[in-house]
Structure 1
Amino acid sequence: MNKFWIIFWHTYMSKLKTKSFLITTGITLLLIFGLTNLQNVIEFFNGGDEETTKVAVMNQTGDENVYTLFEQNASAIDDKLQLKKSKETEEQLKKDVLAEDLKGYLILTNDEDGLPQAAYHASSIANSSVSGTLEQALQQTKVAIGTANLGINSEQLNQLFSPAELKKIALEENAKSEEELNQARGLVYVLLFIIYFSVILYASMIAMEVAVEKSSRVMEILISSVSPIKQMFAKLLGIGLLSLTQFGLIILVGYSSIKGNIENLAAMGDGFLNFSEVPVATLVYAVVFFILGYFIFATLAAFLGSLVSRIEDVQQMIAPLTFIIAGAFVIAMFGLGNPEAPFITVTSFIPIFSPMIMFLRVGMLSVPAWEIGLSIGILVITIILLAVIGAKVYKGGVLMYGKSSSFKDVKKALQMSKDQ
């Protein structure tokens, strides 16, 4: 058993110290920190709160009230947008824009019905924030003038344009409210990405680890002192601990950053990124299904990796495994919009899909405890069966050399394991 732990800690520490792991982890943590502080980052690059955007307005409507109303609407939408009524020629305004003294200039006119219209000129129209504000202010001005011409007052107008309220009430006792569903959808979306990329990354890492040792003939030395089965599970657990280390760092940094920016995130996406009231059980299930998903795919990756002798053959051998993981992810993305679909319910019990799909259902719905238990039970039994078969394939596969990229070699590996 001592040799098992030697391989276990060697696998963990050697991968933990690699530049690829450190760089990948560092970049991931920086991305998480940057995304959760996106509002602060935008404000930093915009130069702070003091910066204003200057736009000149040529009022050619013949009515000063039109410009006044337009300016009031624009200021209400964006107080950093500074409108300046100008009597300069269009040629002079064009020079000011190109000299960057102005962001742009707007020509305000009337259409054939006597309602305001405008043309916005800028050195570049790639940035839609200013033009979007001007367009919105122009629309409000047009509606106000048009309704005034029709004899409709502002109170009647507000009643007409106020959004219709549709209350969504779930009749089931434990059903989630709309706000809870919004929060759960955001969390499940984020964690599905983490599970997807982590499983692909670590499954490939295990297969690559085995192939590297075989290509360097280190495996022949290891087999003489440690059984292939111990090697396989030592590598699975070693890289599994590595994944939990990285996963833990991501959760720690992500939680700390989200907690410090909870108001900004709550405002984004209408609560989609507000994780302040997510049940602890959802986070627990995320860890459980992450671990189970890791083991079911890692076991497959280990014995597939044992069938190849060259590093360049690894990706070809585990390609079907990658397609399965991608398929589960696509199904999960579909399920975010309709988690109660029969197709989602059925696939949540299929072992290769359930780590993502059942977790999706648990996060979005009130799933009966027996369904969760059944899914986990099927997963555990499948992992055990794969481990038994995988150990036999691994035992024979590590002794196979030469070009190998066919699943027919599984049968050959099983035969070789019986002969030992």
Structure 2
Amino acid sequence: MNKFFVILSHTYTNRIKSKAFIITTALMVAAILLMTNIQTVMEVFQGDEDEKSSVALIADEPEASALAASIPGGEIYEGEEEDAKKSVRDGKFDGLLVVEKGEAGLPAGHYYTDEFTSSTDQEVRQALQQVKMNAAARQQNISGEALAEISTPVEFETTALEEGAKSEEELNQARVIVYIMLFVMYLAVIMYGNIIATEVTTEKSSRVMEILISSVSPVTQMFGKITGVALVGLSQFGIFILSGIAGIRISDSSENSLIQMAGLSNPDWGIITYAVIYFLLGYFLYATLAAVLGSLVSRVEDAQQTVTPMMMLVVVAFFFAISALSNPNAFYIAAASYIPFFTPFVMFTRIGVGEMPVWEVVLSFGVLVGAIILLGVIGARIYRGGVLMYSSSSLWKNTKEALQLSKKE
């Protein structure tokens, strides 16, 4: 057991001190602090632009007054159209809206601007649309109250009759949590799976493994590395979480913080608990596979190619999970949730957005734990023989040779 902790400590210390870990962590912390204060940052950079924003208006009454009131920075221009265009070119106005009578005598606009800015164009278009609707209503002798009533969105509410079903608010919150956890699991498996495979291959390529193998069993090495990298991941994500909390506290307006906008001010801790459990089980499943694959090659360049099939499994699982967000009870989704390499992603998504029977959840845990044990037993045998191989044959041939070597020990 002491040897296990020596391998674990060595792996953890080396990775924590590596430049890749420090740079990646620093960049992610900066990104998290930026995202949690994005509204403040946007206000700082957009403050001056908003003050300078102005649109010249050439139109007859009552359209001119209505547009000036509804367009931000709208200003009725009293001069000639050509003079107004010159003012736009000189930068005095951001744009010029000329309103004339179109078909059926309704307002039609022509917008002139130096640069195409979709946000301003959209604001002007929406304001003119409203003016046109009002003009059409007046032509048809429709009162303003009647027009407002017609334009009011229909009242619509959905209620699930199934007992214990999530409300719409709970479902939206669950979707946000599921999206976040899916991306976290996806990135973690890809990042740390590569690290484990590369770690094993690097030691093999430097012949360090031949020295280690005489004092520490291959199985102890494999699980020591897997656990060490897992602790690296937990440390890194712990830093990210603390950075997020710090960013929210720094934010001037808690009501407009990222947590409030995402609807996570009162999170569902049940879903978060499932996320942690499936994350850990999924990590150990993929990490064991990555260690085995890394032991079958002797060059770091080959390690990247060897773990490609594993990465494809992760990508497929991720897309199954995204599909499950909209249709969690589809037959192919239900079937995929019991395939071990898909279970952490798909079953967690189904739990997050639907109501799952307890037996299905327990069965998925059993499938995952069973797969980890089976892969651990088989993987330990392959790892035991694979770490002493230095051939560059095909993956399948190397696997057979590794199993044969493990039997001779």
**Which bracket does the TM-score occupy, shorter chain normalised?**
over 0.9
> Following TM superposition, by how much is the alpha carbon of 1:97 offset from its aligned partner in structure 2, in angstroms?
2.2
SS of the residue 2:388 aligns to: coil
SS of the residue 2:51 aligns to: coil
Residues 267, 301 of structure 1: alpha-carbon distance in 2 compared, 3 angstrom cutoff: closer
Q: Mean alpha-carbon deviation: is it higher for 364-373 or for 4-13?
A: 364-373
Q: Mean alpha-carbon deviation: is it higher for 209-218 or for 251-260?
A: 251-260
- Paired residue type of 1:296: L
Q: Say which of 277, 282, 288 aligns to 1:293.
A: 282
What does residue 77 of structure 1 align with?
none
Contact 1:262–1:274 (Cα < 8 Å) also in 2: no
Aligned residues: 407
> Following TM superposition, by how much is the alpha carbon of 1:150 offset from its aligned partner in structure 2, in angstroms?
0.6
What does residue 114 of structure 1 align with?
105
What does residue 97 of structure 1 align with?
88
Residues 282, 255 of structure 1: alpha-carbon distance in 2 compared, 3 angstrom cutoff: farther
| 1:331 and 2:320 are equivalent in the alignment | yes
Residues 419, 2 of structure 1: alpha-carbon distance in 2 compared, 3 angstrom cutoff: same
Between the two proteins, what is the percent identity of the paired residues?
Answer: 46
> Following TM superposition, by how much is the alpha carbon of 1:191 offset from its aligned partner in structure 2, in angstroms?
1.2
Cα deviation code 1:214-251 (max 9, x no counterpart):
11111111111111111001000000111111222223
Contact 1:351–1:382 (Cα < 8 Å) also in 2: yes
What does residue 239 of structure 2 align with?
249
Contact 1:265–1:274 (Cα < 8 Å) also in 2: no
Contact 2:36–2:258 (Cα < 8 Å) also in 1: no
Length-normalised TM-score, structure 1: 0.92
Structure 2 distance, partners of 1:372, 1:30, is 37
> Following TM superposition, by how much is the alpha carbon of 1:265 offset from its aligned partner in structure 2, in angstroms?
5.5
Q: Which runs of 5+ in 1 are unaligned?
A: 75-80
> Following TM superposition, by how much is the alpha carbon of 1:50 offset from its aligned partner in structure 2, in angstroms?
6.6
> Following TM superposition, by how much is the alpha carbon of 1:258 offset from its aligned partner in structure 2, in angstroms?
5.3
Residues 355, 157 of structure 1: alpha-carbon distance in 2 compared, 3 angstrom cutoff: same
Residues 319, 50 of structure 1: alpha-carbon distance in 2 compared, 3 angstrom cutoff: closer
Q: Which runs of 5+ in 2 are unaligned?
A: none
Structure 2 distance, partners of 1:347, 1:262, is 40
Length-normalised TM-score, structure 2: 0.95
> Following TM superposition, by how much is the alpha carbon of 1:100 offset from its aligned partner in structure 2, in angstroms?
2.1
Cα deviation code 1:151-190 (max 9, x no counterpart):
1112211221222222111112211011111111111111
Where does 1:152-171 land on structure 2 (aligned, <5 Å)?
152-171=142-161
Cα deviation code 1:306-336 (max 9, x no counterpart):
0000111011111110000000001111111
Contact 1:71–1:83 (Cα < 8 Å) also in 2: yes
What does residue 36 of structure 2 align with?
36
Structure 1 distance, partners of 2:341, 2:28, is 26
Residues 214, 353 of structure 1: alpha-carbon distance in 2 compared, 3 angstrom cutoff: same
Contact 2:57–2:68 (Cα < 8 Å) also in 1: no
> Following TM superposition, by how much is the alpha carbon of 1:73 offset from its aligned partner in structure 2, in angstroms?
2.5
SS of the residue 2:378 aligns to: helix
- Paired residue type of 2:255: E
SS of the residue 2:47 aligns to: coil
Contact 2:55–2:94 (Cα < 8 Å) also in 1: yes
Contact 2:58–2:64 (Cα < 8 Å) also in 1: no
SS of the residue 1:175 aligns to: coil
What does residue 55 of structure 2 align with?
55
Calculate the aligned-residue CA RMSD, in Å. 1.9
| 1:194 and 2:184 are equivalent in the alignment | yes
Structure 1 distance, partners of 2:68, 2:201, is 68
| 1:10 and 2:2 are equivalent in the alignment | no
SS of the residue 2:56 aligns to: strand
- Paired residue type of 1:226: V
Where does 1:387-402 land on structure 2 (aligned, <5 Å)?
387-402=376-391
Cα deviation code 1:346-402 (max 9, x no counterpart):
211211101011111121122222211111111011101111111110010000003
What does residue 71 of structure 1 align with?
68
Residues 124, 50 of structure 1: alpha-carbon distance in 2 compared, 3 angstrom cutoff: closer
